[in-house]
A and B are shown apart, each in its own frame.
Chain A
């Protein structure tokens, strides 16, 4: 089954404690990205990757890091989480092969930073 998986689904942590949210897709997609969803703001892109070893900032990259060492994986790293990073996070992937870049989303990770 074609899918995007994320782990963990729920995470409660404290300010300053480094964490990683994993993302993996099994569709051989070139493009992967991370979004955060906040009430009234929709989804905003954090980082994206056009392919292996090619990453760049989205609209709200402050406080986040990513890496793309393998095509299928795109982890999101919070080196020193702060309460304003409490949010719902989605990983997404898509392929330029179809031109429209229809995106497939993971189930989401709800992060709470206290």
Chain B
């Protein structure tokens, strides 16, 4: 079964420091991977995706993610964190082996706290 794991419930980082939010996946074949962010009282907003090509994917708000096939990981990164980056982050993979072609399988979410 395809799955996504976010091993950290919460990540704390000081403003200005680099941040990493971890994600590992388990799929058969080549994955379609996504990161979404959820601010308080808001819906999920798309950050970036990996479909194919360059392993380093750049997205919105200065975020990037690195696809690592050998480690089955897709960690979200940002060189310099902002307090406004504090939010709940979800990693997701598209279910490629289902007739439900649009379905995303989500990790449990990681809360990012950036302290001034």
Contacts and interface: CB of A to CB of B under 8 A. Distances in A.
B103 interface: yes
Contact of B104 (A56, A99, A103): A103
A74 interface: no
Given A40-B108, A42-B90, A42-B106, A102 B101 contact: no
B102 A101 contact: yes
Interface in A60-114: 90, 92, 94, 96, 99-108
Nearest to A49: B102
Most A CB contacts (10 A, CB to CB) among B36, B90, B92, B103 go to B103
Contacts, number: 67
Contacts of A45: 100, 103-104
B55 to A, nearest CB: 17
B43 A4 contact: yes
A100 B49 contact: yes
B34 interface: yes
Most B CB contacts (10 A, CB to CB) among A4, A42, A104, A107 go to A42
Given A90-B44, A104-B46, A108-B43, A56 B100 contact: yes
B46 A103 contact: yes
B108 A102 contact: no
Interface residues of B, number: 25
A101 B94 CA distance: 8
Interface string A13-41: 00000000000000000010101000011
A6 to B, nearest CB: 8
14 contacts: A41-B108, A45-B100, A58-B103, A94-B102, A99-B51, A100-B49, A101-B102, A102-B34, A103-B102, A104-B46, A105-B36, A107-B42, A107-B43, A108-B41
Interface of B: 4, 9, 32, 34, 36, 41-46, 49, 51, 90, 92, 94, 100-104, 106-109
Interface of A: 4, 31, 33, 35, 40-45, 48, 50, 56, 58, 90, 92, 94, 96, 99-108
